[in-house]
Amino acid sequence: FEAFFLLHNGMEILQNYIGGQFVPAAAHIDSFNPSTGKVYAQIPNSTAEDVDAAVKAATAAFPAWARLTRQARANYLLAIAADIESNLEEFALAESKDQGKPVWLARSVDIPRAVHNFRFFAGAVLHSVEKSSMIDGFNAVNYTTRTPVGVAGLITPWNLPLYLLTWKIAPALATGNTVVAKPSEMTSMTAYLLCKTLDRVKLPAGVCNLVFGLGHPVGSAIVSHPDVPLVSFTGGTVTGRKIRELTAPMHKKLSLELGGKNPCIVFDDIDLEKSIPDIVRSCYTNQGEICLCASRLYVHRAIFDQFVEKFVAVARSLKVGPPDQADTKVGALISKEHLAKVRGYVEGAAKAGAKIVCGYTVDALNLPAGHEEGYFMAPTVIVGASDEFACVREEIFGPVVCILPFDQEDEVVARANGTEYGLAACVWCRDGARAHRVANQLLAGTVWINCWMLRDLRMPFGGMKASGTGRESGEDSIDFYTEARVICQKLD
């Protein structure tokens, strides 16, 4: 893969991918290795003009791509999947170096999921069926057909870079749309490797274009472009609000997967020894930088002290260190600025009267030479906070968990629902009736019972309240990336 990058003084220099060509940029942005704090690559500092060129290429490619049979488009997706899979180790190493996550996590989850995204939607588009009906008394038949929308503008975040980028590109292409995509400026490397994959499988020019750069001007140019009728965005709630404002006057199709402050409710009948390792995993996987991570743990008062003791012991056992070490469980946070933000929440909680039981401000980090300037933070537990604390109400997006006691079922449901977010939740309970009763009252798009992060791509995914607009996955993605047409015929 080294040959795929332009090199300047040993620095990897990325290019935009527009109209099937790699296009050098006039200016660049530094890209940092989170585990060392050092610049290791430069990405294009693209402009609105670059976006316009990509949209023009996608618009020109759209008619021929949309006319292809579903099988032909599926074959391209399968070829993309096979190419990523054949280079899985290179993708995994690049993802870890660029994002800070452990290599083993990228190797076992992120890159295989990217492969699966393409294979899943290659199959889904072939097995999607239309609707039909007869109108009683009129001897008439109705049936639906679906048509691709056009150029899809796709914007993805830095926490699961290739995983979420392919989650959007795959269904967009499978249903006959062309694409202009922008990955996060902080994690562009595997997106660039994907461009090389698209080039190797000879995806028709202009069908999938990637423009690298900042949210403004690149992201704003994509979402406000008059020739981009559909936008799918995953990222922060504040940015999601801005996208709504930009796109509303233009009547674009819109899908937003935004932030979360996900509650985890733990009842007093669970097996602590069995459950706590999975609950810890739900809090600290990927350094807690997953929109679905649990960050508010409501634990029944009868087991609260015992739970905290055991939870802290497991959290402290997680090794924090260089992502390329096999036994590292918690890698580096994405940036110096984000690390400061996450630490700020912990410091604010302590000043407000909460207790930091483990992690930042309590436990020292022992980092090897070369990683002292990396953006590392130990798994942190806060107790003694109330629901009004910023650390309980606001999305932190790091390895920080607030554990709070509760007494009654109705009380904990109300408290769990007491934020602006509604992305995901967990319920840990042996009593099946209670677990399902509580799950059905939680205002969250996904609720896990006695598990976490088990995902069936056939099921809809999205958030309630400030956690998003719309649903994607399986048939929901096919619906989003197409327009339904009803045809009615009166029979003789």
Catalytic residues: 257, 291
| Two structure tokens written together for 182 | 């922008």
For residue 203, report the phi and psi dihedrals to the nearest 5 degrees.
-60, 135
Interatomic CA distance for residues 101 and 294, integer angstroms: 18
Strands 262-266 and 424-428: parallel
DSSP character for 470? S
Contacts of 268 (CB under 8 A, 6+ apart): 300, 302, 303
Question: Residue 324: left if φ>0, alpha if ψ -120 to 50, beta else—which one?
Answer: alpha
For residue 239, report the phi and psi dihedrals to the nearest 5 degrees.
-65, -35
Interatomic CA distance for residues 462 and 196, integer angstroms: 30
144 pairs with which residues across the strands? 486
Cis bond leading into 277, ω under 30°?
no
Contacts of 350 (CB under 8 A, 6+ apart): 356, 361
**Could you tell me if 145 and 226 are in contact, meaning their C-beta atoms sit under 8 angstroms apart?**
no
Interatomic CA distance for residues 137 and 285, integer angstroms: 59
Of the candidates 171, 252, 65, 257, the one whose C-alpha atom is nearest the C-alpha of residue 477 is 171
Interatomic CA distance for residues 133 and 489, integer angstroms: 11
Rounded to the nearest 10°, the torsion over CA 264, 95, 183, 425 is -10
DSSP readout, 360-404?
TTTS---PPTT-TTS-B---EEEES--TTSHHHHS---SSEEEEE
DSSP character for 288? G
Interatomic CA distance for residues 297 and 405, integer angstroms: 8
Interatomic CA distance for residues 424 and 402, integer angstroms: 16
Other residues' Cβ atoms within 10 Å of the Cβ of residue 490: 9
